[in-house]
Amino acid sequence: MNIRAQMSMVFHLDKCIGCHTCSISCKNIWTDRMGTEYMWWNNVETKPGTGYPTLWEDQDRYRGGWEVSNGKLRLKLQGKIGTFLNIFFNPYLPTIDDYYEPWTYRYEDLFNSPDSDDQPSARPISMITGKPIEIEAGPNWDDDLGGSPFYAEKDINLNVLTESEKHQLFQLERLVFFYLPRICNHCLNPGCVAACPARAIYKRGEDGIVLVNQEKCRGWRMCISGCPYKKVYYNWTTGKAEKCILCYPRLEAGQAPACFHSCVGRIRYSGVILYDADMIERVASAEPTQLVTAIRDIIKDPFDESVIASARKNGITDQVIKSAQESPVYRFLKVYKLALPLHPEFRTIPMLFYVPPLLPVISSLRGNSFELRDEFFPTAESLRIPIKYLSALLSAGNEKEVIEIYKKLIAVRIYKRSSSVGDISRMEMKKVMDEAGISTDEAEEIYKLTSLPTYADRFSIPSFMRERVIETLEQTDVRKTETGFGFIKKPKRGW
Ligand code: SF4
Ligand code: SF4
């Protein structure tokens, strides 16, 4: 056993209201510089939909993540020879049109226009060329367009449905969408790190945050292709790659990342987990149906004496171990088994997990009015969004994993209805709870952690003793001159 600590995260999709506050707080702090205009380290997409950048999940097009070939785990992108041949032209990159052309407005037109009968308007101007543009796309252009033929119907996860299932999904009374907020997953087996020929991307030892060394980066952009989630971006001013840094300067000060802190729906939870680094290759190579179980298995019980001993041996402090014991992520993922990784079949072992959305029940048109089709509480099989679709998104096609979670989520709803409104008998409630395999105590805890969590319940952030870590690596007076993200001295291009 080789225990390491990792900052990991849970997003509860039922609570996301699609307000984009998270994206804006991130943008204001980290990507309001020249060269970063099109970057959204945090973005919120509507699902079903094509996302940002367009069709990022299509790995036939982008070749991100890993595959098992002849029993061996290898990057889907290319091997060493492929890297060498493609180094001056990487064919598997999204173009600016796949993101969107960033723009601003010519605000001075509002003040300088001559007198006229019409109100002046500010023309949109491309932030890349400085010329007027017609706006045709944006990072959340498909917002709320759950039934759109341009966006929703092109969602690649719908390929697992039959034509008739797809047709039913897009019936007006069945239309459905939910929000999927995305940041870098700070994976345990990151494709971006493995793809970088300059070894500029690394995983920080003490908390597993994946960072790009701006001095080492040569701008080859293999990391952008290697990341199947398309969460590395290219800064066209500095010629370097950039990505979500999980607000590590905030974490080091005991604060939650800005997108977590500002989240209006309070959907975001974060905390340390302890994992066994010796298992990474085995977990990443698991059969698709076993991937979710394997990812759960790599995360170890922070109360187990042998885990604690191995953690201490690796220099993990007691503060971090205590924080792992209090982590809401551990509870969602291992204790209640309610959260799933996004596209585990990309095999990067993502450390951001999602509680799937318990969408409204299906109603159908009877005469002139809509009526509930089933009882008020659906079964896992009668949910508005097909289990097959959710399992393509969150469990590498393993429908059982998704059904088990829905049984629990529905059981918690029925339990609360029974105890607070009283129109469901105790016998009926017990039957559902037994089927879902949860006790009333657990249902109460899940309810509290979902609906009434305080800041302390949502975030368990230890002191990472950065000063101690830095002392082992470099001179502290060098570090003293560096603050935040960016450069004290502008880096020289390598060509
Ligand atoms: Fe790297 Fe992408 Fe994983 Fe982030 S999500 S660690 S950028 S592979
Ligand atoms: Fe969803 Fe929270 Fe972001 Fe709003 S701030 S879009 S609720 S994740």
Q: What is the pLDDT of residues 341-354, one digit of tens each?
A: 999 999 999 999 99
Between 54-68, 83-97, 273-287, 356-370, the lowest mean confidence (pLDDT) is in 356-370
pLDDT grade for 488, boundaries at 50, 70 and 90: low
Eight-state DSSP code of residue 489 = S
What pLDDT does 7 receive?
A: 96
CB 356 within 8 A of CB 13: yes
Contacts 24+ apart (CB under 8 A), 377-381: 377/410, 377/413, 377/414, 377/417, 378/410, 379/410, 380/406, 380/407, 380/410
The answer to whether 449 and 331 have CB atoms below 8 angstroms apart is: yes
Q: How remote is the CA of residue 18 from the centroid of ligand 2, in Å?
A: 5
Cα(112) to centroid(ligand 2), Å: 38
Q: What is residue 289's predicted lDDT score, i.e. its pLDDT?
A: 95
* The ligand 2 atom nearest the CA atom of 23: 3
Residue 373 has pLDDT above 60, yes or no: no
> What is the pLDDT averaged over residues 387-399?
95
Whether residue 184 has its Cβ less than 6 Å from ligand 1: yes
Instruction: Determine the angle formed by the axes of helices 399-420 and 440-451, rounding to 10 degrees.
Output: 90
| Mean pLDDT calculated for residue range 66-80 | 89
Of 221-225, 367-371, 478-482, where does the model show the most confidence? 221-225
Confidence of residue 147 (pLDDT cuts 50, 70, 90): confident
Residues with CB under 6 A from ligand 2: 16-22, 44, 179, 181, 263-265, 267
117-121, 123-127, 336-340, 364-368: least confident range: 364-368
- pLDDT at 446 (0 to 100): 96
User: What 3-state class would DSSP assign to 40?
Assistant: coil
Euclidean distance between CA atoms 485 and 40, whole angstroms: 16
The pLDDT > 90 percentage for the chain reads 70
pLDDT for residue 104 is more than 60: yes
What mean pLDDT do residues 113-139 have?
A: 92
Are residues 181 and 16 in contact, defined by beta-carbon separation less than 8 angstroms? yes
* Nearest residue to 485 via CA among 210, 199, 211, 206: 211
Q: Do residues 246 and 98 lie in contact, with contact meaning Cβ atoms separated by under 8 Å?
A: no
pLDDT at 168: 81
**pLDDT at residue 364, as a whole number:** 53
User: Strand, helix or coil at 212?
Assistant: strand
Closest ligand 1 atom to 190 CA? 8
Q: Which ligand is nearest to the CA of 12?
A: 2
In the beta sheet, which residues pair with residue 203? Answer: 210
Q: Which residues of 295-327 are buried (b: 16+ CB within 10 A; e: fewer)?
A: bbbbbbebeeeebbebbeeeebbeebbebbbbb
Which of 6, 39, 193, 227 for a ligand 1 pocket mutation test, highest count of atoms within 8 Å of Cβ?
227
Cα of 23 vs its chain's centroid, Å: 12
Bridge partners of 47, per DSSP, are 178
Contact by Cβ (8 Å): 245, 209 = yes
d(CA 190, CA 204): 12
CA separation (Å) from 251 to 176, 181, 206, 207, 296?
A: 36, 20, 12, 10, 25
What is the SS3 assignment for 364? strand
Q: Is 310 in the pocket of ligand 1 (CB under 6 A)?
A: no
Q: In testing the pocket of ligand 2, which one of 28, 44, 262 has its CB within 8 Å of the most ligand atoms? A: 44
Torsion sign, CA atoms 42, 48, 52, 57: positive
Sequence-ordered list of residues with C-beta below 8 angstroms from that of 59, at least 6 positions apart, any chain: 65, 76, 228, 346
How many angstroms is it from 318 CA to the middle of ligand 1?
28
Mean per-residue pLDDT over the chain, rounded: 89
- Residue 201: which region, alpha, beta or left (left: phi > 0; alpha: psi -120 to 50)? beta
At residue 57 the predicted structure's pLDDT band, cuts being 50, 70 and 90, is: very high
Using the structure block, give the residue that is written with the tokens 């939909």.
49
